A and B are shown apart, each in its own frame.
Chain A
């Protein structure tokens, strides 16, 4: 049994037949080839798969493609505009906020949503705000710095 879904991903409409059980993460990775959305767990803990669904951060391993029908999704690939890095992408680079890079797309997407909700978070608020995202490499410190630096730029 297949169902038709139409999802706007990074500004482009995609209509596809999918199994109802297909996860949004797999839809993005396998159907659309957007492999920037990484999968690090199978119980919705790590946050590596975080994307924006109608502007809000969600773990795409916990959303079915059919649930996203009619919605807009932004993935890490859609964050830069006209070849210009998003301020968070730039800040992650400038602050050495990544090592292996596997958590990075999800971390940046989650931070985007965090800054949307709290444009000027304290360090402690950033640390709690990113509670749903795990990084095994960096010890988080430079991630916090990167997010903080973007808040500072825009305030």
Chain B
């Protein structure tokens, strides 16, 4: 029946981008607009004794300079944390720091000027009298006695702790084991680096007292809510938040940021439109960063390869303040994933969320799930080696069998569906894994360092059942809205609370709605990203748009169909139950008499002329649904990577990458493929190159793209990609989510490959990123 779902429709958003007509926030220019620039702390930790703005104010072209205290006096509030686990200590975070800076890049003052150049000049004229304070940057060291306190009211720098699983069962599993493998690892900090730096623009209307804020956000409605209720104080009916074209997010544009408060505040204060456009250095120093775990983990196994226990302890670096969803990531999206693809009863995970003098950390593509997958897949390789099994054989031994779904793990999640044996059959076949191993044996005989890495990963996507989220500490629900307005002509406008910043919803959601209603793809327009145009929605993150946002549109389309049936039945003088809605054509006809029918356009017109409607039916044809998912979805993947290491230089060549994913049903295979490949490349970035580096003084040494290595085209072979499909049983589209799966699996697959290459030298673990220097040093040490 589906005419569009499942087909690789070309994206309708592309014509504007390929012709340079993308509507990014930085492009907004309004008459009288002032440019904003922010003075930022050069110290990781310092008392701010005095900020002298007089010289900056005197510079011609400067319209205003405001400090953190000015903002507080002007009514701004503290940035709240949206995820509160029990006994959490949430330190105060103001839009601009007041008397103490807590990370390099912490905002101190804002300049408004006639041009961006003048604003930048003025920053240099602001004098800040710093008194540097002792600094802590490492998540675990922050908890040691005597460590400097980041916030005086958070003793020991521990903001919260969390644990899950059955400790006694875990201990039993270890007691029964023949072998235990043990790993100290660092999942390094990453800078998301969406290519478009964050930006905000605001316009105040003093007569209607309405504010419009354009912001680079993945979720404009939650941002409006936070602005209204906590930080800016302009009520929701007077505040319109628009998130137009956004140049990538990867999580970093979920959160509420100070500039979203400062920009409208200044616009109102000066009664002029205002715009702040971040630079790359600012993005590096202020976008919430990702990962940063120090972890001790262990896996217990029997001689036959059965996993009997997993124990994980993690110190999770939260940075200097708690970003909007920070506590969610290393708790309910991390420790809950410790079962992986495996059937294990004894799992126990515990973590400490600690504060340091670094940029705040929050969700970054995968968010918690990559950290869990990484340690599990590293442990699996070590355990397989210990019991003398091939890594795939070892994993197969422990897979949850396909007839045990839905499967309740010991760490909260109930997996919806999957067939991990089939998944691995596919990847083994696609890669010709036995041949790869054979070739590797030959290469090794020639003294070459060839490695093959395997990873099998699971993701919990599509957050989340609101009730479950609430029980886990969320301050909000995670349903999604979908509204469909059928116009009198039968043309359709569909509004979604999801937001696209590269995912292509304008295309995929139109495919879904067109199929649900039986109208032409061209007749459906998708609207998103504007609080004045779409119902309250929760936005996009956690691979949730298709599963939750798509399902919301399906729900509202179903309501439209029901109403259309009633109208057609009435006009054709038949009973509702006797009507058939033909989703291929949008025609509604009497069962057994297909020529007694009404077209979709006829019904739409009838709904608006309202001359002849059933008594209980109101005029118009417009429905809204709020879809709350019954469960998360659980995409899963089997990836195989092959690398070769240059013995002389330590350089790693990624020679092959074969991936098979189960992301459930697919709406647009071209877009799904693009998401997976993009995700894989990003995951390889973490394995091999990317790292946010802080020195002991808390200076961030990787504040630009010269110092922070993003993946480049020349470092990759073509990705060989395949899919299997086990539909999610609990959402109407059967989809699971695709945004993050590639990233999650690629990191361990590539690290496992490198360590497989180094295994003959006796190197069993290295922390990421596996730079040539690190690999070379390990080879030297091993051969010494």
Contacts and interface: CB of A to CB of B under 8 A. Distances in A.
B26 A141 contact: no
Contacts of B193: 136
Contact of A102 (B14, B22, B716): B22
A103 B20 CA distance: 10
Contact of A42 (B279, B677, B711): B279
A140 B250 contact: no
Contacts of B681: 139-140
Contacts of A45: 704-706
A43 interface: yes
Contacts of B551: none
A57 B695 CA distance: 37
Contacts of A79: 19
B175 interface: no
Contacts of A133: 713
Contacts of A77: 19-21
Contacts of B27: 29, 35
Contacts of A33: 29
Given A35-B27, A48-B195, A102-B196, A41 B117 contact: no
A11 to B, nearest CB: 15
Given A98-B17, A134-B712, A142 B677 contact: yes
Most chain B CB inside 10 Å of its own CB: which residue of A42, A46, A75, A127: A42
B280 A139 contact: no
A108 B14 CA distance: 13
Interface in A98-155: 98-105, 108, 123-124, 126-128, 130-131, 133-144
Contacts of B17: 98, 101, 104-105
Contacts, number: 175
Contacts of A75: 20
Given A37-B20, A108-B18, A99 B674 contact: yes
A36 B22 contact: yes
Contacts of A139: 674, 677-682, 711, 716, 719
Contact of A144 (B194, B678, B713): B713
B324 to A, nearest CB: 21
Contacts of A89: 18-19
Contact of A38 (B24, B679, B718): B24
B156 interface: no
A17 interface: no
A46 B19 contact: no
A79 B502 CA distance: 23
B19 A80 contact: yes
A101 B71 CA distance: 35
A138 B705 CA distance: 18
Contact of B705 (A37, A41, A98, A144): A41
Interface stretch (B130-138, B241-249, B385-393): B241-249
A141 to B, nearest CB: 5
A34 B718 contact: no
Given A89-B18, A99-B502, A39 B194 contact: no
Contacts of A130: 713
A100 B195 contact: yes
B777 interface: no
Contact of A99 (B116, B281, B678, B704): B678
A43 B714 contact: no
Interface in B276-291: 279-281
Contact of A136 (B19, B710, B714): B710
A19 interface: yes
B737 interface: no
A54 interface: no
Interface in B1-54: 10-11, 13-22, 24, 26-27, 29
Given A43-B704, A137-B195, A141-B716, A36 B20 contact: yes
Interface string B585-606: 0000000000000000000000
B10 A94 contact: yes
Given A98-B18, A101-B245, A141-B716, A134 B117 contact: no
Nearest to B746: A139
Nearest to A108: B18
B504 A99 contact: yes
A19 B61 CA distance: 15
A7 interface: no
Interface in B89-148: 116-117
B671 interface: yes
Most chain A CB inside 10 Å of its own CB: which residue of B17, B24, B682: B17
Contacts of A126: 713
B24 A21 contact: no
Given A36-B19, A93-B14, A99-B678, 8 more contacts: A26-B116, A39-B26, A41-B705, A45-B705, A46-B705, A77-B21, A92-B18, A108-B18
16 contacts: A21-B117, A26-B116, A29-B27, A35-B20, A36-B20, A40-B247, A45-B704, A76-B18, A100-B196, A135-B195, A136-B248, A136-B250, A137-B678, A138-B678, A142-B677, A144-B718
Interface of B: 10-11, 13-22, 24, 26-27, 29, 116-117, 193-197, 245-248, 250, 279-281, 501-504, 670-671, 673-675, 677-682, 704-706, 710-714, 716, 718-719
Interface of A: 19, 21-22, 26, 29-30, 33-43, 45-46, 48, 75-77, 79-80, 85, 89, 92-94, 96, 98-105, 108, 123-124, 126-128, 130-131, 133-144
What 4 A-B pairs come out closest when comparing CB atoms?
A: A36-B20, A101-B17, A102-B247, A139-B681
